[in-house]
Chains A and B, each alone.
Chain A
Amino acid sequence: MAVASPSRSTFGGFRSSLGGALTNPTFWRGIVALIGFALFWELCSRSKQMFGVQVPWIGMVPPPSDVLGAWAKVVTEPGYWQSWYLSLNRVLAGFIAAQIVGIPFGLALAVNRYFRDIFFPPFEILRPIPPLAWVPASLIFWPTNEMSIAFVTFLGAFFTVVINVLGGARTINVQYLRAAQSMGASQWDLFWKIILPGTMPSIFTGAAVGMGITWEVVVAAEMISGGGTRKGGGLGFFIWNSYMGGSLEQIVVGMISIGIAGYLCSSAIRYLGFAAMPWRRLF
């Protein structure tokens, strides 16, 4: 009988330790690819001055060396870090609220028929409304800008979280429930020992997708609501401000900052997922 030996534990290039990362070819391929990409970009951006012919589109983008220069300048300004702080705060607030409300709500929809009959129809009607369509209404409804942004961010993740949790809980293999039942599990046991762990993978999928949406929504909401006050700000506003000020380099700095922030957030979720679901680390 063949023994299924657990293969080396890479999962989407993820390694649980830094030491692991340094010996992982996937990690180094990633680094080389990023450097290669930056070089290509540099050459294209400088094509006019180096070869006399401008590469279309990318030739107009400021080269990475200039972007790095602009970056080196902004990192000394507290405003830049303030933008990070504000956006991150909003993302986390909206995201965590969406998890706290969305996971129990999704589970309740999944396990209770009456709850589902009552709350699923309104939920399904509200769900297709894009989060940004809520911006004007919430600007009017909520007393402060900050609260409207938080609310819209929350909505962005909420619907995704609920749909994932509901789908995950409803598709748990019925044999798990039956096996547990025949061993004497009560409804309470079934919920805590089968449905909850069985839904865990979907909870983390919902969290990962929800995190992405939260960033999208925050940045857009920051641009729309303007952030005229000092408290407005955020990375979205940082980009908008750079655009108004005509600094192409700073726009790119803002964009890449959001990319990095989003990547850090999804890595954190992936890491939590691995910590919470040891059985998923095996393949």
Chain B
Amino acid sequence: MHQTPPASALGRIPRVNVEIRGLNMAYGEAWHRQQVITDLDLDVPAGQMTVVIGPSGCGKSTLVNIIAGFEKPDSGIVRVDGQPVTGPGHDRMVVFQETALMPWLTVRQNVSFGPQLRGEMDRATLRAEADRLIDKVGLREFKDKYPLQLSGGMQRRAELARAMINQPKLMIMDEPFRGLDAMSRELMQEFFLKLFEENRRTNLFVTSEIDEAIFLADRLVVLSTRPATVRSVIEIDLPRPRTYAMLASEKAFDYKREALDILHQEAMKSFKMGSGQSDFLEAYAKRAQ
């Protein structure tokens, strides 16, 4: 399994700390203005898998976009190893909720995209490195295929390879396995976990699936309903390497209940505050325009 990797891959992945302090974000103008994130503080410790779980529509993707530097928060700061984030950079790679492979590039061209753009590897090294990563995600036979020729799970793996080749210090995954069938989803979780346990790159993983969250996490961060803020942080003290069997343990069950309790409270709260209804009114107002 271990061929000698090219020089560029030998560099160890630096472990970075990510700190998020006092984040606030709202969308829309005037009376359509809607707070999406309020006073959110979050740490993503070096070499750990931090999983963020929250109800659908609470602002998880917004948080991801801010950390990645695609969007500027109204206030607050994101620091990667003490350095404030000012825009996108290849120290932070995002695997998006929907596939973002360029449909007009083959798998190999997609994977080579970043280094080629920055011109940091010569052709032969880049080719070798791309092929190594494509092999690693099990797409050797599909190198020269276009994304539309791949199944959903294969697309996700190609995306992992495209992100990894950039040697990011922080990997951000935004519900990457949503929309896969149950079988592919489990296979992808296991595969992804193995990758993480191999190199322990600092990771922020967003999901709305509790079992996925506990299976992967070192730390589980539970968000409130919109506007998102951190409700609770649960340290997941299950041994690594993880297996699915551990999800059946009593400990895992307790974690699950603790997280679900909070998520349930959040759901009830938004229900009582009538936000379900105000959502409806908002949607109606938008349509009426």
Chain A residues with CB under 8 Å of chain B are 1-6, 173, 175-176, 178-185, 189, 193-194, 197-198, 200, 277-279, 282-283
Q: What is the CB-to-nearest-CB distance from A276 to chain B, in angstroms, rounded to a whole number?
A: 10
**Pairwise interchain contact B93-A1, C-beta atoms closer than 8 A:** no
Complex A-B: 19 CB contacts under 8 Å? A1-B153, A1-B154, A1-B183, A1-B187, A3-B151, A3-B154, A6-B149, A175-B98, A178-B70, A178-B94, A179-B94, A181-B70, A183-B90, A183-B114, A184-B90, A189-B117, A197-B102, A198-B104, A200-B104
Specify the chain A residue showing the minimal Cβ separation from B153. Answer: A1
**Pairwise interchain contact B104-A185, C-beta atoms closer than 8 A:** no
- Check: B113 CB closer than 8 A to any chain A CB: yes
Chain B residues within an 8 Å CB radius of A178: 65, 68, 70, 88, 94, 96, 100
Q: CA separation between A104 and B183, bound complex, in Å?
A: 47
**Pairwise interchain contact A182-B151, C-beta atoms closer than 8 A:** no
Q: CA separation between A159 and B55, bound complex, in Å?
A: 46
Which among B100, B147, B150, B154 is the interface contact of A179 at CB below 8 angstroms? B100
Q: CA separation between A194 and B103, bound complex, in Å?
A: 10
**Pairwise interchain contact A1-B151, C-beta atoms closer than 8 A:** yes
Query: How many of B's residues come within 8 Å of A, CB to CB?
Result: 34
- The 9 A-B pairs at the shortest CB distance, nearest first, are namely A183-B114, A175-B100, A182-B88, A279-B146, A197-B104, A181-B88, A179-B100, A184-B118, A1-B153
- Check: B57 CB closer than 8 A to any chain A CB: no
- Check: B69 CB closer than 8 A to any chain A CB: yes
Q: CA separation between A176 and B146, bound complex, in Å?
A: 15
Q: CA separation between A20 and B139, bound complex, in Å?
A: 30
Chain B residues within an 8 Å CB radius of A180: 102, 113, 117
Q: What is the CB-to-nearest-CB distance from A268 to chain B, in angstroms, rounded to a whole number?
A: 22
Chain B residues with CB under 8 Å of chain A are 65, 68-70, 88-90, 92-94, 96, 98, 100, 102-105, 113-114, 117-118, 146-151, 153-154, 162, 166, 183-184, 187
**Pairwise interchain contact B100-A176, C-beta atoms closer than 8 A:** yes
Specify the chain B residue showing the minimal Cβ separation from A194. Answer: B102
Chain B residues within an 8 Å CB radius of A189: 117
Which among B88, B102, B118 is the interface contact of A176 at CB below 8 angstroms? B102
Specify the chain B residue showing the minimal Cβ separation from A277. Answer: B104
Q: What is the CB-to-nearest-CB distance from A171 to chain B, in angstroms, rounded to a whole number?
A: 14
Specify the chain A residue showing the minimal Cβ separation from B166. Answer: A183
Specify the chain B residue showing the minimal Cβ separation from A1. Answer: B153
Known pairs A4-B150, A180-B117, A182-B88; A279 contacts B184 (CB<8 A): no
Q: CA separation between A200 and B117, bound complex, in Å?
A: 21
Which among A1, A173, A182, A283 is the interface contact of B89 at CB below 8 angstroms? A182
Chain B residues within an 8 Å CB radius of A200: 104
Specify the chain A residue showing the minimal Cβ separation from B118. Answer: A184
**Pairwise interchain contact A175-B104, C-beta atoms closer than 8 A:** no
Specify the chain A residue showing the minimal Cβ separation from B138. Answer: A1
